[in-house]
Homo-oligomer: A and B are copies of this chain.
Amino acid sequence: MTAQRIDGTVTTPLGFTAAGVYCGIKKPNPVTHPLDLCLIASTGGPVPAAAVFTTNQAVAAPVVLSRDHLSRSGGLCAGVVVNSGCANACTGKAGMVVAKAMAAAAAQALGCDDDQVFVSSTGVIGVPLNLEKIRTGITAARAAQSVEGGQDATRAIMTTDPFPKSCAAVIDTPRGRVTVGGIAKGSGMIEPRMATMLGFLTTDAKVAPAVLQAALRRVCDETFNAITVDGECSTNDCVLLMASGVSGVEITDPSDPALVEPLRVVAGHLAREIVRGGEGATKLVTVRVTGAESLADARLAARTICNSPLVKTAIHGGDPNWGRLIAAAGRSGARFVLDHASVRIGDIDLFDDGVPFDERSPAAADVLEQDHMVITVDLGTGGRDEATMWTCDFSAEYVKINSEYRT
Give the interface of A toward B (CB within 8 A): 54-59, 89-90, 92, 125-126, 189, 192-193, 195, 230-235, 307-310, 313-314, 316-319, 321-324, 326-331, 335-339, 341, 351, 354-356, 358, 365, 394-396, 398-400, 402-407
Contacts and interface: CB of A to CB of B under 8 A. Distances in A.
Contacts of A314: 402-403, 405
B313 A402 contact: yes
Contact of A230 (B189, B234, B310, B335): B310
Contact of A399 (B193, B195, B319, B395): B395
A341 B89 CA distance: 14
A330 B57 contact: yes
Given A339-B92, A358-B126, A193 B324 contact: yes
Given A319-B192, A356-B90, A398-B309, A331 B56 contact: yes
Given A398-B309, A399-B394, A319 B56 contact: no
22 contacts: A55-B331, A56-B331, A57-B337, A58-B327, A90-B323, A90-B338, A90-B356, A92-B339, A126-B322, A189-B310, A192-B321, A230-B309, A232-B310, A235-B330, A309-B309, A313-B402, A314-B405, A317-B406, A318-B406, A321-B405, A365-B406, A399-B399
Contacts of A307: 231
B399 A327 contact: no
Nearest to A64: B338
A63 to B, nearest CB: 11
Nearest to A393: B403
Nearest to A324: B193
A327 B231 contact: no
Ranked nearest first, the 8 interchain pairs of A and B with the lowest CB-CB distance are A58-B330, A317-B403, A125-B323, A313-B402, A396-B396, A57-B336, A319-B405, A233-B331
B126 A309 contact: no
Contacts of A55: 331
A192 B56 CA distance: 35
Q: Is the interface of A mostly helix, strand, loop or mixed?
A: loop
A229 B308 CA distance: 12
A396 B400 contact: yes
Contact of A58 (B192, B319, B326): B326
Pick from A189, A233, A307, A313 the residue with the most CB of B within 10 Å. A313
A403 B317 CA distance: 4
A56 B333 CA distance: 8
Nearest to A368: B406
Contacts of A235: 323, 326-327, 330
A232 to B, nearest CB: 5
Contacts of A351: 90, 126
B193 A58 contact: no
A201 to B, nearest CB: 24
B92 A313 contact: no
A331 B57 CA distance: 6
A320 to B, nearest CB: 9
A57 B335 CA distance: 8
A136 B329 CA distance: 36
A57 B90 CA distance: 40
A365 B403 CA distance: 13
A232 B328 CA distance: 7
A313 B399 contact: yes
Nearest to A60: B338
A125 B327 contact: yes
A193 to B, nearest CB: 4
Contacts of A233: 327, 331
A338 B56 CA distance: 10
A296 B316 CA distance: 35
Contacts of A90: 323, 326, 338, 351, 354, 356
A354 B396 CA distance: 34
B323 A89 contact: yes
